[in-house]
Structure 1
Amino acid sequence: MTATDPALTALAQGWCALSLLHGRIEAHIERALQAGHDLSVREYSLLDVLSRQHDGEGGHLQMKQVADAVVLSQSATTRLVTRLEDRGLLSRYLCPTDRRGIYTNVTQAGLTLLEEARPTNETALREALDTAARTPELAPLVHAVETLKVPA
């Protein structure tokens, strides 16, 4: 069954095409990040999200917020944080105002790896989108991604 299968409703066709586009992009980026930096897409995403934290009001994310940002369950996010902490890329510490809270920061090694991997991620994303744009059923979605304005 393809995204253009006539047995599918228009809504189902759109969802199928979106899922196909996501899968192709993620697989392409995964291969590039693994080959160049020994990072998975999820590890890269976690480092990227956590690197954007700051010391100001609301600047540190709780684990649920991190999980939502990287589209994983809280338990899977905790396991991912532990793996990256074991590699020396993240560190955890108690929240100074709430001893029940635990914050996670990217270490200098993690920041260095993230900066090295960022161009690989961007190049792989561009390549995956360019390839998908040549597929008629995916081209409109590629255009939507390229022109999407995300509110700040």
Structure 2
Amino acid sequence: MTATDPALTGLAQGWWALSLLHGRIEAHIERALQAGHDLSVREYSLLDVLSRQHDGEGGHLRMHQVADSVVLSQSATTRLVSRLEDRGLLSRYLCPTDRRGIYTNVSEAGLKLLAEARPTNDAALREALDEAAKNPELTPLANAVESLGAPA
């Protein structure tokens, strides 16, 4: 089946192409991060999101906000945080103003790994988009992704 299959509606064609593009990009980045840094795409995404926290008002994310940011369920996010904490890449602590809240910070080792992995992630994304742009069914979406990152 292709995105131009006449059995698909226009909406379904668009969704099929978007899903295909996402899957190809994620798989390409996954292979690169695993090979170079022993990180999954989800682990990289979690470290990236958490590394952007700050000590100012609203600067730390609660677990449900982290889950939304990495597009995982809260329970899957908690398991992922636990795995990265076990590897020494994250630490958790109680929110100083609400003892029910738990915050998560990236450790120095996590920040170092993230900095080492960022060029790999970016290069793999570039390669995956370049490859997708060669496919006529994916070219418009690859171009759209490119335009989202372009300066305004």
TM-score (norm 1): 0.97
Identity of aligned residues (%): 86
Alignment-mate amino acid for residue 54 of structure 2: H
Give CA-to-partner distance per residue, 1:51-76, whole Å, 9 cap, x none. 00000000000000000000000000
CA RMSD after TM alignment:
1.0
Moved more, 3-12 or 46-55: 3-12
Compared CA separation, residues 25 and 149, structure 1 to 2 (3 A): closer
Q: Which residue of structure 2 aligns with residue 148 of structure 1?
A: 148
- Determine the C-alpha separation between the residues in 1 that align with 2:131 and 2:53: 33
Q: Which residue of structure 1 aligns with residue 50 of structure 2?
A: 50
Residue ranges of structure 1 left out of the alignment (5+ in a row): none
Q: Which residue of structure 1 aligns with residue 19 of structure 2?
A: 19
Q: How far apart are residue 2 of structure 1 and its match? A: 1.7
TM-score (norm 2): 0.97
Q: How far apart are residue 148 of structure 1 and its match? A: 1.4
Q: How far apart are residue 83 of structure 1 and its match? A: 0.1
Runs of 4+ in 1 over 3 A off after TM superposition: none
Alignment-mate amino acid for residue 14 of structure 1: G
Q: Does 1:5 align with 2:15?
A: no
Q: Which residue of structure 2 aligns with residue 138 of structure 1?
A: 138
Indicate the SS of the match to 2:54: coil
Task: Report how many aligned residue pairs link the two structures.
Answer: 150
Residue ranges of structure 2 left out of the alignment (5+ in a row): none
